[in-house]
A = this chain, B = another copy of it.
Amino acid sequence: MQLPSSLLENAVAQFAKLPGIGKKTALRLVLHLLKQDVSEVQLFGETIAKMRRDIRFCQRCHNISDGDICAICANSQRNQRVICVVENIRDVIAIESTQQFNGTYHVLGGIISPLDGIGPEQLTIESLINRIAQEQVEELVFALSPNIQGDTTIYYIQKKMASPDCKITTIARGIAFGGELEYADEMTLARSIANRLPVQQYVK
């Protein structure tokens, strides 16, 4: 695909670097922007650049933040003694949108995965261990991916913790709402039978 202008070509190349966007989609996006006002496209470019330049990460939980400490860590209405450990920022957004969790978070930045070359030192595990040692943490809720890497990460953090007197939990695994039993994989079904709940607790 040969483009009639180097300016267009450069813009398409920039969009095509984004994940899931090929050259044809990139061209469609660029031609859309070409129909917008100059000032609007200027704003688009500036907003993106400014976001990357000025965004900060919370020094406590490593979530995205406008300041040194994120809005969740700074909120005294939230239970600062409960920490939900997640892989990335998207998980924080997903859990926040359920409005079911009133504690704080700790964003690891990934999970331990030797095959991908990700060890504990690439993650914010040390910062989590320090937090547990300094703050009077009552509960640590692991909300990691249900796979070997996730389990390894939980195991590693548990081993590293100096004070094992805080409660350690993990989000429930089981059959999803709307899921049909016959299509559930064996492992999930097995776990959900082993961890069965009293109906009273379930409907609570």
Contact = CB atoms under 8 A, between A and B. Distances in A.
Interface stretch (A12-20, A124-132, A173-181, A187-195): A12-20
Copies per assembly: 2
Given A1-B97, A4-B65, A5-B66, A48 B41 contact: yes
Interface of A: 1-8, 10-11, 14-15, 17-21, 25, 27-34, 36, 38, 41-55, 63-66, 70-72, 88-90, 92-93, 96-97
Contacts of A34: 51-52, 55, 64
Contacts of A53: 38, 41-42
A93 B44 contact: no
A46 to B, nearest CB: 6
B10 A51 contact: yes
